[in-house]
Amino acid sequence: MKHEGSIPSTSRLRTSTVRLALIYLLVLSIAMFRFERLDLLAAIALAHLLLYALLKLDAGPLARIVRRLGLFFTFILLVNAVEWSALPGGPPREWIDQDGLWMGLALSLRVLIVVVASTLVRLSAPPGAFAEAIRSFGLPRMAALAVDGVFDLLGSTAGPGSGGGKGNGGGGRGRGRGQAAKSGSSTSLTWSDFRRRRLDALVEILRRSLERARRWIAERAPDLPAPAVRDASLVLMSALAIMSVRFLQVLPGLPIAPGHKNLLIVPLYLFVAVTTRSRFGATQCGLAIGLLSFLFGQGRFGVFEVVQWLLPGLAADLMAPVLRRVRGGLRWPAFALAGMVLGICRFSAGLLMILLAGGHPALFAIYSPFLISQAGFATLGASLTPWLSSRWPMIEQSANATHRGSSQ
């Protein structure tokens, strides 16, 4: 099966070139924060679009990402080009600030360049070569095992939300569904399940993911000592659960609840952080999911997609020593506060895009409800972590029994 945006093998980048392409993408993304000249930015954008066409890449993935960013581009132009003080009674010719209009176009081009370059590198690199290039940069082994494990167990068409849904995180319908069903990870969770604490589906997802993760780790990394196998299995289990579950919105398809997936993502991050004994277990989990999310073309933020998965894992690991010591009635508020921090970190890619677009105060004001929603759902989700920790022995015992039965 050809994955989304697949192209003829003769047009793909060679494996030895993928490493340089990734370095170029990183340097370009950083440099875009400094470029302001409209003519230079237009030339860079045109060059990347021409290269995209010359490589005969599928225009569909890029068009979908740009369409998702359409409202963001509109806001950039409005906050920079409109003379709001002249609107109440001034003549129409004074409503538009020409210099602000050109600045808005330049800032929009900065965002577009990062998106086009990210999609170009992603689609022109064979998945195997992409993963190999990342490992050559010193990717930690647990993160590397999680990347390879998700590829093997879910296939190259999987992705967060198991589909290409519309809106802010509205995945759950589309291309990944068939693959998820084949891999046995098609269980769905709804907002009603979380609201009414009907979490048997979550327990089953984690039990199944842990069972598959342990089996895969045992086959692919037989040299790992038992403690490392346990931690690597937890990281891969969490990556599988997050990448495969079909988690529905309050009203599917409508962008009214950005951050709702934090109900699942945040407790898993915190659980991995407080349960693993290897250094930076949640960070490696977040890094693996971020790389997979970028590689599968999920989200709207290009290479910045990695950041919004990596930073919450790092924050969880930094808070883990304190969270492990909390007992009694302080556990819920402690985990809730930690969840709020992770929710803010989950907005990091959006923050980077706003800064790339010039960091206008009006943009921060417009998108502040998204930040509040991310933090709110993360705070609610974090309350599941103590519950998950109490259920973990049962999940682990069930997975052990299944593993022993299958090995006999």
- Is the domain of 202 the same as that of 260? yes
- Is the domain of 70 the same as that of 216? no
Element (H, E) at 178: helix 176-182
- What's the CA gap between 288 and 217, in Å, rounded? 15
Residue 369 burial (10 A CB sphere; 0-12, 13-18, 19+): exposed
- Is the domain of 325 the same as that of 403? yes
- Is the domain of 221 the same as that of 367? yes
User: Contact 308/348 with Cβ under 8 angstroms?
Assistant: yes
- Looking at 123, 155, 170, the residue that finishes a domain is 123
Residue 132 is assigned to a structural domain of this protein = no
Amino acid 307 reads V
Walking along the chain (408 residues) 10 residues at a time, the average pLDDT comes out as 39 68 90 90 95 91 89 88 66 72 90 91 76 80 88 62 38 39 49 68 84 90 89 92 62 54 90 91 92 79 88 96 89 93 92 88 89 92 87 80 56
- Looking at 123, 148, 174, the residue that finishes a domain is 123
- What's the CA gap between 59 and 64, in Å, rounded? 9
Instruction: Assign 247 to helix, strand or coil.
Output: strand
- Is the domain of 303 the same as that of 366? yes
Beta-carbon contacts of 1 under 8 Å, excluding residues fewer than 6 positions away, are: 155, 157
Confidence at residue 105, expressed as pLDDT on a 0 to 100 scale: 92
- What's the CA gap between 227 and 229, in Å, rounded? 5
- Is the domain of 109 the same as that of 192? no
- Is the domain of 105 the same as that of 143? no
- Is the domain of 117 the same as that of 143? no
- Is the domain of 318 the same as that of 174? yes
Confidence at residue 172, expressed as pLDDT on a 0 to 100 scale: 37
Q: pTM of the entire structure?
A: 0.78
Residue 379 is assigned to a structural domain of this protein = yes
Residue 7 is assigned to a structural domain of this protein = no
User: Contact 96/29 with Cβ under 8 angstroms?
Assistant: no
Residue 107 is assigned to a structural domain of this protein = yes
Confidence at residue 174, expressed as pLDDT on a 0 to 100 scale: 38
Beta-carbon contacts of 313 under 8 Å, excluding residues fewer than 6 positions away, are: 269, 272, 273, 280, 282, 283, 284, 285, 286, 287
The alpha carbon dihedral of 1, 184, 156, 149 has a sign of negative
Confidence at residue 169, expressed as pLDDT on a 0 to 100 scale: 36
Element (H, E) at 343: helix 331-345
- Is the domain of 113 the same as that of 166? no
- What's the CA gap between 351 and 366, in Å, rounded? 12
Confidence at residue 231, expressed as pLDDT on a 0 to 100 scale: 92
C-alpha distance from residue 146 to each of 27, 232, 287, 321 (Å): 26, 8, 9, 24
- Is the domain of 269 the same as that of 296? yes
Residue 1 is assigned to a structural domain of this protein = no
By residue range, what is the domain housing residue 401?
139-407
- Is the domain of 214 the same as that of 112? no
Residue 108 is assigned to a structural domain of this protein = yes
Residue 128 is assigned to a structural domain of this protein = no
- What's the CA gap between 257 and 239, in Å, rounded? 23
Residue 352 is assigned to a structural domain of this protein = yes
**Which residue in 382, 391, 396, 342 sits closest to 194, CA to CA?**
382
